[in-house]
Amino acid sequence: MGRAFLPLALLALLIAGCTPTAIDPRVPLKIEPVMKTVQTGPAAYELHLASRTLVPLSGQGPKVRLVAAVHIAERDYYRQVQRILDGDAITLFEGVSARKDDFKKQGPERRPGVLYTKIADALGLISQYEGIDYRREHFHNADLTQAEMLARLRGETLTTPRPEGPDQPLGPPDKVAEAKFKMMMDVMQGGGLGGLIADVGLTFVKYNPRLRATMLLGIIGTDPAASEKQLGKQLGGESGKRIARLILEERNQEAVSGLRRFIGQRKAGETVALFYGAAHLEGIEDALIRRFGYVPESTEWLVAIRVDGGEAGLTPEQAKEALKMTRK
């Protein structure tokens, strides 16, 4: 009788320890989106981006604010983001550049040759370069530099120390991925054949209201959760998948590393903000919840882009199809 009771007692203890009542109800079962499409009329839609605040379950340490970024938007969106970030104790931001401090050396500026500026001009928006002033004492770049990204594709060990420990070898070099990455960077800067093709296409968009509304709706309907799969497919092959991992997952790791460092330096009552692309924030929020013990507290929604397709001559059905364009 005694021998039979012991296994049953252990089983009961195991079951009791695994019931849902043992889980803190503040821990979310899934990560909520940081980007949503809101319909405001028969053929009118808005892109809303989240500014989400998370707090430590233990009550010890600072709050963390995740602010979703988009490379082109309405000027008022960037004004709201600037106001939020200026009020936080620390602001970490994304920005791939030659050196970590490049963004802090200059104020908001129009970069006419850059692809994002050309797209913004065609759509009646402004670029993130023009909308955000990074020259704040508490602003810090939490992204990889161009040299660091190329080093990873080449399989080189980085020389920049990381807070979490010594650097590790980055795997075998991928020459095809490196070549594709350089070409992509060239296009983003407005150069090469790709930049020329973009210039021609955007000229048509700029002076055609229907095309402009269609493109805006395509941006508003973007699914950030599918970005890695789409990017890898567009770039093609294993090299494309490698670049997609670098752009999304490995930059996420850099952002999380920055959060870890600054969370440890700040105290309760302060807020550490991270201003990063919407496609990145689901993975970063998941890391905050699972590895740092944080839970969502509140979300403020900011309007980034709006368009009325009806004013451009689109029917409600055409507007809905345009929303699905980038997903297809």
* pLDDT of the residue at 162: 46
What is the phi/psi pair of residue 199, to 5°?
Answer: -60, -45
Contact 46, 221 (CB under 8 A): no
* pLDDT of the residue at 204: 86
Structural domain boundaries, residue 67: 23-323
Sequential DSSP letters for 87-135 = TSSEEEE----SSTTTGGGS-S---TTSHHHHHHHHHT-EEHHHH----
Q: pTM higher than 0.75 for the full model?
A: yes
The reply to whether 317 falls in a domain is: yes
Averaged pLDDT, 223-232: 70
22 or 323, greater pLDDT: 323
User: Which pLDDT band holds residue 172 (cuts at 50, 70, 90)?
Assistant: low
Structurally, how many domains does the chain consist of? 1
* pLDDT of the residue at 158: 54
The reply to whether 9 falls in a domain is: no
The reply to whether 17 falls in a domain is: no
The reply to whether 13 falls in a domain is: no
Which range is least confidently modeled, 52-56, 101-105, 185-189, 236-240?
Answer: 185-189
64 or 98, greater pLDDT: 64
* pLDDT of the residue at 229: 64
107-143: pLDDT as tens digits: 788 888 888 899 999 999 999 999 999 999 999 999 9
CA–CA gap between residue 60 and residue 58 (Å, rounded): 5
